[in-house]
């Protein structure tokens, strides 16, 4: 018996078997098999099962004839995506694919024709060779019933569309076309230009157009014909009512190009922005002449913004392309390099008008806030109207860029102190935001003076992060900043005075490596009634009770002996990382209270919980294993790291949490097990005794299990999830790097587990 007939016989036996193993193979296994087969045999596998039928086909540098390629496509009835990239010359390709949605070709085709593609939404065709005068395609044939939404074609394909001539209009409009991309278009070729205009005019819902131009050398007579064709007067009944974005690349400034730009601007009442990118090889003065002409064109849209996209263009010349003087983003980009232009007289010579001096006050402020503080000060040289404008900034940010850096840290520190002191001394008006982040500045008496100054300047946001060598002690005047809404302190000492009544407006508090008494930190938190976000990092041996009725976001990291959440019913996100010391471990062993209830017993609005190292260990202390008085109806994402699957109490913590989260969608568990102890775990009937009957995770779609050792309780936990998650889509399992010999056994056992979800895919990560 031949090898092919033997293969067919075996496949027949498999198809007749009661358990269809072929249909249930994971997608990645199917792909591996297909890659090992010749292309003809790969096509034939469609008969094995409906799951093996092609839905996506990518061909790159495959040696295949046009006929064979067309046959391959037509014999794939479920094909949705087709990509062809090849340097082999094809004569003509007819595509019959009733379910095709995406087609991308970049090959040496002379023509491509979509015959039966009623669902084609994205079409990209690059022929890579000129059409050789063969009348095989025209616009009416191609676009008669093509429902394309995104069309990308090149100059060669446009010329092939124009082979039989250009009709005045298409018999059917391209109602679904929203994005049109045209590559290497020659605006000296009348047929190409006519074809482009017909496509645009026939697309009433077109929203985005991107055109890349290419160089050309044509007689003036032919250029005149194109220019006459583009004249605005010939399009009185034409309007691009939905067009919002236009990008034209490599503009050389030829009259035909400018006339097209003029036409689009005049016929686009909803246009938001047009980007013009000049061809720097062909334009002089970085396209200034193009700028002067385009700015004169009438715009149907009052909100149209024309942007001159040239990295090396004069920023002042670019200002012509702002939609109006109030366009703060464009103007802030322009002024980022203003001092490279020279004197004011030079700017006047370029534009004939001093735009910089005449900018509105609001625009000047916006520009200054987008500049580094050192550069903002330098803008005084631009114009008399800009002098000391920086001195009224309400938001100031200082960092190491404020001064010239050197190896002499003392010199850098002195220069930085001097710069900030002088800036604040000359400042006039309120300061709503003050940020200082530097590695060079240590504790300094000047910091006290700055904070005293800010306390009298209506400060709202304060961020201080200094170097690591010496922490600074926050002065008492900090606590007189009554209007603070945001306070971030890194590496400092805090000692609130007895008269301190709290920050009544504070919403965001972040303390990292801050020395403060335990009772003081609790008092500080409770005296901020509007507090919504709290971050405490690198605290040592802290027993903490948090009372914050408006708190929504909590992030804790450090050595915590105890954490109790009181009146925090609005919490939606919690992240906790707990570091273990011998003292804290001893404290845990002596504790009898239920940490789970103290920490998670009063957060009904919780949506996301992230527990890092030792978090589940902490929650397992004093766990009474009783029924929770709360259901986490809003909890959708749970991430628990370094869970010990040899500790029954930690496993119960995980179970207790997820079982009481009916809308859980994502679960990420990483293991941390002593394989020797785990292998000797005596309570292997734990899952039969403790797992609640009838428990279903009806919303769980994604599970990630990382650092797995393959021990019994880990595998039983995975089995429990697979058997009770009816909508599960993906479960990824990554073994620990320390597991080298047991990976195959893990994979074999995973394959045996029953899955409540028919769509569940198990991904075993080997890395």
Q: Within 269-326, where are the H helices?
A: 288-294, 315-318
**Poorest-confidence range of 194-198, 325-329, 439-443, 581-585?**
325-329
Task: Check if the beta carbon of residue 365 is closer than 8 Å to that of residue 326.
Answer: no
**Which residues are 461's β-sheet partners?**
433, 486
Q: What are the domain boundaries of the chain?
A: 1-51, 52-324, 325-390, 636-767
Q: Is 451 exposed, middle or buried (0-12, 13-18, 19+ CB in 10 A)?
A: buried
Rg (CA), the chain: 35
Tokens representing 739? 């597991």
Q: What is the DSSP string of 345-401?
A: HHHHHHHSS-TTTT--HHHHHHHHHHS-HHHHHHGGGT-GGGTTGGGG-SEEEEEGG
Q: Is the pLDDT of residue 476 over 60?
A: yes
Query: What does residue 120 show for φ and ψ, rounded to 5 degrees?
Result: -65, 120
pTM over 0.75: no
**Greatest mean pLDDT among 63-67, 194-198, 358-362:** 194-198
Q: What are 657-669's pLDDT values in tens digits?
A: 999 999 999 999 9
Q: What percent of the chain has pLDDT over 70?
A: 73
Return the higher-pLDDT residue of 628 and 186: 186
Tokens representing 314? 């004069």
Task: Answer left, alpha or beta for residue 735, where phi above 0 means left and psi between -120 and 50 means alpha.
Answer: beta
Give the pLDDT mean for 667-679: 71
Residue indicated by tokens 């949705």: 80
How far is 247 from 753, CA to CA, in rounded Å? 54
> At 333, is the pLDDT very low, low, confident or very high (cuts 50, 70, 90)?
very low
Task: Check if the beta carbon of residue 554 is closer than 8 Å to that of residue 544.
Answer: no
Task: Check if the beta carbon of residue 609 is closer than 8 Å to that of residue 644.
Answer: no
> At 2, is the pLDDT very low, low, confident or very high (cuts 50, 70, 90)?
very low
Burial 266-287 (b: 16+ CB within 10 A, else e): bbbbebebbbbbbbeeebeebb
Give the pLDDT mean for 485-493: 94
Q: What are 238-275's pLDDT values in tens digits?
A: 788 899 999 998 888 888 888 888 888 888 999 988 88
Residue indicated by tokens 């929504």: 552
Q: Is the pLDDT of residue 230 over 90?
A: no
The alpha carbon dihedral of 506, 508, 511, 517 has a sign of positive
What is the third-level CATH fold of 52-324? 3.80.10
Q: What are 581-610's pLDDT values in tens digits?
A: 777 767 666 666 788 888 998 999 999 999
How far is 346 from 517, CA to CA, in rounded Å? 61
Q: Is the pLDDT of residue 5 over 60?
A: no
Distances (CA, A) of 309 to 50, 249, 274: 50, 9, 10
Task: Check if the beta carbon of residue 182 is closer than 8 Å to that of residue 154.
Answer: yes
How far is 645 from 709, CA to CA, in rounded Å? 10
Q: What is the DSSP letter of 48?
A: T
Q: In the predicted model, what is the mean pLDDT of the chain?
A: 78
Nearest to 114 by CA among 91, 89, 80, 144: 144
Residue indicated by tokens 């550069």: 375
Give the pLDDT mean for 274-295: 74
Return the higher-pLDDT residue of 684 and 121: 121
Using DSSP bridges, classify how beta strands 150-154 and 122-126 pair: parallel, antiparallel or unpaired.
Answer: parallel
Task: Check if the beta carbon of residue 573 is closer than 8 Å to that of residue 607.
Answer: yes
Q: Within 45-126, where are the H helices?
A: 66-74
Q: Is 639 exposed, middle or buried (0-12, 13-18, 19+ CB in 10 A)?
A: middle
Report pLDDT for 283: 73
Distances (CA, A) of 318 to 258, 280, 295, 309, 341: 17, 15, 11, 8, 13
């Amino acid at each position: 018996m031949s090898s092919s007939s033997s293969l067919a016989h075996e496949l027949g036996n498999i198809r007749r078997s009661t358990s269809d193993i072929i249909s249930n193979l994971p997608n990645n296994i199917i792909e591996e098999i297909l890659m090992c087969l010749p292309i003809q045999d790969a096509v034939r596998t469609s008969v094995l099962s409906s799951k093996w039928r092609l839905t996506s086909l990518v061909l790159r540098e495959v040696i295949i004839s046009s006929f064979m390629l067309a046959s391959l496509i037509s014999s794939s009835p479920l094909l949705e995506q087709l990509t062809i990239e090849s340097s082999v010359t094809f004569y003509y390709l007819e595509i019959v694919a009733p379910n095709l949605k995406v087609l991308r070709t970049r090959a040496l085709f002379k023509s491509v024709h979509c015959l039966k593609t009623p669902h084609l939404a994205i079409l990209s065709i690059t022929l890579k060779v000129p059409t050789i005068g063969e009348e095989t395609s025209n616009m009416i044939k191609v676009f008669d019933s093509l429902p394309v939404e995104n069309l990308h074609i090149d100059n060669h394909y446009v010329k092939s569309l124009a082979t039989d001539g250009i009709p005045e209009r298409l018999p059917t409009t391209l109602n679904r076309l929203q994005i049109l991309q045209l590559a290497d278009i020659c605006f000296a070729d009348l047929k190409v230009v006519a074809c482009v205009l017909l496509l645009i005019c026939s697309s009433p819902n077109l929203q985005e157009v991107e055109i890349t131009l290419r160089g050309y050398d044509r007689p003036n007579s032919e250029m005149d014909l194109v220019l006459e064709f583009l004249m605005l007067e010939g399009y009185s009944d034409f309007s691009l009512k939905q067009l919002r974005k236009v990008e034209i690349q490599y503009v050389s400034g030829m009259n035909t190009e400018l006339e097209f730009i003029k036409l689009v601007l005049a016929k686009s009442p909803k246009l938001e922005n047009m980007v013009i990118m000049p061809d720097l090889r062909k334009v002089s003065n970085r396209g200034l002449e193009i700028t002067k002409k385009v700015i004169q064109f009438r715009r149907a849209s009052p909100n149209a913004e024309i942007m001159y996209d040239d990295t090396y263009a004069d920023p002042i010349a670019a200002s012509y392309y702002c939609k109006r003087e109030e366009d703060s983003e464009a103007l802030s980009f322009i002024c980022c390099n203003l001092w490279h232009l020279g004197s004011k007289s030079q700017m006047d010579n370029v534009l004939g008008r001093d735009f910089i001096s005449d900018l509105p006050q609001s625009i000047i402020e916006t520009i200054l806030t987008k500049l580094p503080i050192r550069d903002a000060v330098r803008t005084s040289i631009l114009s008399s109207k800009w002098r000391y404008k920086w001195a009224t900034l309400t938001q100031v940010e200082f960092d190491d860029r404020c001064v010239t850096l050197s190896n002499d840290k003392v010199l850098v520190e002195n220069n930085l102190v001097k710069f900030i002191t002088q800036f604040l001394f000359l400042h006039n008006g309120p300061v709503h935001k003050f940020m200082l982040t530097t590695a060079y500045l240590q504790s300094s008496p000047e910091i006290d003076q700055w904070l005293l100054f800010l306390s009298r300047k209506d400060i709202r946001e304060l961020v201080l992060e200094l170097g690591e060598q010496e922490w600074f002690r926050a002065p008492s005047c900090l606590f007189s900043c009554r209007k603070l809404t945001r306070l971030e302190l890194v590496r400092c000492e805090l000692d609130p005075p007895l008269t301190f009544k709290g920050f009544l407006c504070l919403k965001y508090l972040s303390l990292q490596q801050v020395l403060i008494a335990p009772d003081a930190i609790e008092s500080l938190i409770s005296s901020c009634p509007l507090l919504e976000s709290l971050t405490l990092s690198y605290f040592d041996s802290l027993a903490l009770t948090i009372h914050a009725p408006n708190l929504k976001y909590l992030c804790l990291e450090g050595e915590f002996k105890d954490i109790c959440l009181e009146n925090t019913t609005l919490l939606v996100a919690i992240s906790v990382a707990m570091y273990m010391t011998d003292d804290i471990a001893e404290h845990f062993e002596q504790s009898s209270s239920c940490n789970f209830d103290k920490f998670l017993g009063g957060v009904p609005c919780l949506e996301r919980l992230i527990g890092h190292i030792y978090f589940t260990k902490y929650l397992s202390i004093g766990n009474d294993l009783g029924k929770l008085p709360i259901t986490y109806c809003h909890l959708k994402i749970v991430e628990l790291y370094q869970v010990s699957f040899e500790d029954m109490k930690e496993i119960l913590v995980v179970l207790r949490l997820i079982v009481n989260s009916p809308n859980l969608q994502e679960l990420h568990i990483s293991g941390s097990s002593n394989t020797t102890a785990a292998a000797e775990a005596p309570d292997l009937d734990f899952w039969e005794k403790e797992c609640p009957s009838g428990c279903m995770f009806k919303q769980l779609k994604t599970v990630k299990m990382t650092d797995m050792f393959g021990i019994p309780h880990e595998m039983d936990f995975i089995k429990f999830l697979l058997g009770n998650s009816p909508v599960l889509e993906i479960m990824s399992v990554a073994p620990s790097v320390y597991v080298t010999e047991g990976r195959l056994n893990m994979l074999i056992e995973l394959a045996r587990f029953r899955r409540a979800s028919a769509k569940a895919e198990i991904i075993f990560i080997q890395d």
